[in-house]
Amino acid sequence: MSKKLSPEEIVKYFKDEFKTKIKSTQIRKKVAGLKKKESYSIWMKIDKSIFKPFIKRLCDLQFPHLAVTSGNDLGKTIELIYHFTLGYGTRFGEIVLNVSVELPKSKPEIETICDYIPGALVTEREKQEMLGVKIIGIPDTRRLFLPDDFPKGVYPWRRDETGPEKMYKNLHEVKK
């Protein structure tokens, strides 16, 4: 990318293609230091149906840096948030793009983005084991952090009955 993109231009780039499927956008500005240099971040909520085309359009703009994906258990849905950054390489040019997708708990599935961004493998494997999300097409489905003898069906980040409460241990307990 040769010229610096502004956050409004990036939002417009996606809204042009996907129009109403983008549910909401928010641009935040932060200043720091004596000279008050600004840095921007964009928060977007998108519909699950345009997820893969959205990622493709993002890669066409500039190859993004996928920092990590985080997840929330919101009761009836599971929300996955992909944290990308664009514009690295020029001073003060980086813009953080946070894309949030909601999946229903009855069918928590989403496509993989490993074919566009091979570096996403590690974070997608983590979502599979921690939240119980099924990533379609992932090249490697093994567990990442949890030991192999951890019971199946227990998802440590969930807040419902599949949470890790049954594996809980208090190290301070003094047994008589």
Partner 1 sequence: MAKGLTKSFKKALWVYHCNSGSCNGCDIEIIAALCPRYDVERFGIKLVGSPRHADVLLVTGPVTRQMADKVKRVYEQMPDPKAVICVGNCGNTGDVFYESYNLVGPINEILPVDVHVIGCPPRPEAIINAVAKAWVKLETLEAKK
Partner 2 sequence: MKQKTTAKTSYHIPIGPIHPALKEPVYFEFEIDGERIVNVDVKLGHVHRGIEWASRKRNPVQILYLAERICGICSYSHPAAFALAVEDMADIEVPERAEYLRVIQAELERICSHILWAGVAAHEIGFDSVLYLTWEIREKTLDLTEYLTGNRVTKAIMMIGGVRRDITKDMIPKITKTLKYLKDNFEKLRRIFLDDKTVKMRSQNVGILTKEDALKLCAVGPTTRASGVKKDVRVDTGYFAYGDLDIDYMTPDVLTGGVNGDVYDRIIVRLLEVKQSIELIEQCLDKMPSGDITAEPKIAKLLAQLKKVNGEGVGRYEAPRGEDIHYVKLDGNDAPFTWKVRAPTYNNILPWIPMLKGEQIADIPIVAASTDPCISCTNRVAIVNNENRYELDKEELHRLSIEKTRRLMK
**Residue 71: exposed, middle, or buried by beta-carbon count in 10 A (0-12, 13-18, 19+)?**
buried
From CA 107, how far away is CA 110, in angstroms rounded? 9
123 near partner 2, judged by CB under 8 A: yes
Find tokens 């599971």 and name the residue. 78
160 near partner 1, judged by CB under 8 A: no
57 near partner 2, judged by CB under 8 A: no
152 near partner 1, judged by CB under 8 A: no
149 phi, psi to nearest 5 deg: -95, 10
Which residue of 11, 50, 138, 146 would you call a contact of partner 2, by CB under 8 A? 146
Which residue of 92, 109, 134, 160 would you call a contact of partner 2, by CB under 8 A? 92
81 near partner 2, judged by CB under 8 A: yes
Structure tokens at 170: 């208090």
| Min CB(133)–partner 1 separation in Å | 19
145 near partner 2, judged by CB under 8 A: yes
Q: How does DSSP classify residue 16?
A: H
User: What x-and-dash track marks residues 6-45 binding partner 2 by CB under 8 A?
Assistant: ----------------------x-x-xxxxxx-x-x-x--
Q: Which is nearer to partner 1, 13 or 150 (CB)?
A: 150
